[in-house]
Amino acid sequence: MRFVYSLVLSVFLLYSISAYEVGIDYHAYGANFTFTAFLTQYHIPSVRSTVLTQLQGIADRRASFVTLDIWFGSDPGAPRQDWLATFPISEQEKQNLHQYAEDVASIVSKVDGHRLRLNVALFWLAVADYQQGNLTVGFGPDHLNASEFTSRVETTTDAILSVLSNVRRPDGVLVVERVYLDYEVMIGAKPNQDWFLVTHYPRFITAVTAAGFIPTIYFLIDGREFVILEADYIDPEFPALNGHRCMYWVYRSLYFLKTHQLPFPSRIDFSCYIDRNTSTYAHLVNHVFNDADATLSTLGAPKFYGVAETHYFPDDTQRREYGQAFAAEATTSSRLNHLRFWTTPDAGGRGVHIGYPFAVEDYLPPTSFSFE
């Protein structure tokens, strides 16, 4: 009987490990994000060559995917800023994105032969910052009216999908898996985000699905230790959150989607930056996912999660302990499917910027187990 139990446990752990993917928010080839964000510069041979070398290294360190974050916000005709894409996306940026996707598709790990997947996350800043202004005065510093703003969002997303839709790896798999319309959704905290989602999310879902990709958004948990452990927390609006304060914004955002008949993502992804004082990272990570199970499922959300952003600490010992807390969670439960760590800027805390190379293995489960 003990042998049978050990065999079943072995299979479960191995399944959990194989289903758990670790990757990188990779959008810059150096720690200085302002000048090394590469999408707007990818047509420059030296930039592309550097990125190709780094992609190979990323795959060789056993990353499953890379996520390209694109910050839109430069006005057409304005002087180029390396980190800020044009709103709507420019012809050069479209060509660069297509070439980058093809390059990701071409990479094969020299260690185990696996290939990378690519996710794309859209960020709306500067001219594209819908959090500035309102329907009356317009959005962003240029006060774009709702019609013009929406037209630019749709033009941008359609262009992105058009240049990515048929990019396949040599094994025939589409290189792109997920496209995120918006990041760290916090309904009630970010001005106009309710308008942005109601206006753009339904069309986005239809268009991204038609391209063969998974349409999604991601949320944000409050990862401060005292918040995670606040057992006596009482929520003023939603009793399901009592004792589960770290899910405050995720719950409210999903509640908004539900009440406006907007579909939940197939996997609930959220930024999960955990800051501890005395507890172990392992205890806090497990607490977060237990809180997610206890609260979000009451809205009908799946008990299936991804870490959309998290710390990458520069200290090797701290980073290893931190990454292994998530890896341990993944080996004991299939609810955590995906993790990507943030790089530049502020990956290791405010002002602590991280560039290539990355110790992906610190976030992966050990490659071997012994069972008694």
pLDDT tens-digit map of 138-176: 999 999 999 999 999 999 999 999 999 999 999 999 999
- What is the pLDDT, as a whole number, of residue 283? 98
- What is the pLDDT, as a whole number, of residue 10? 34
Angle at 8 (CA atoms; ends 7, 11), nearest 5 degrees: 85
Q: What percent of the chain has pLDDT over 70?
A: 94
How far is 183 from 17, CA to CA, in rounded Å?
A: 27
Reply yes or no on whether the pLDDT at 52 is more than 80. Answer: yes
Long-range CB contacts for residues 151-155, cutoff 8 Å, separation at least 24: 152/87, 152/88, 152/128, 153/88, 153/124, 153/128, 153/200, 154/200, 154/203, 155/88, 155/89
Structure-model confidence comparison of residues 11 and 190, the more confident one: 190
Reply yes or no on whether the pLDDT at 134 is more than 50. Answer: yes
pLDDT 10s digits, 181-236? 999 999 999 999 999 999 999 999 999 999 999 999 999 999 999 999 999 999 99
Share in percent of the chain as helix, strand, coil (round to 5): 45, 20, 40
Q: What percent of the chain has pLDDT over 90?
A: 92
Reply yes or no on whether the pLDDT at 334 is more than 80. Answer: yes
pLDDT 10s digits, 276-305? 999 999 999 999 999 999 999 999 999 999
- What is the pLDDT, as a whole number, of residue 4? 33
Reply yes or no on whether the pLDDT at 1 is more than 70. Answer: no
How far is 273 from 331, CA to CA, in rounded Å?
A: 20
The residues that bridge with 70 in the sheet, in sequence order, are 122
- Across 236-241, average pLDDT: 98
Token digits of residue 178: 């997920």
Reply yes or no on whether the pLDDT at 11 is more than 80. Answer: no
Reply yes or no on whether the pLDDT at 40 is more than 50. Answer: yes
- What is the pLDDT, as a whole number, of residue 80? 87
How far is 73 from 82, CA to CA, in rounded Å?
A: 11
- Across 124-133, average pLDDT: 98
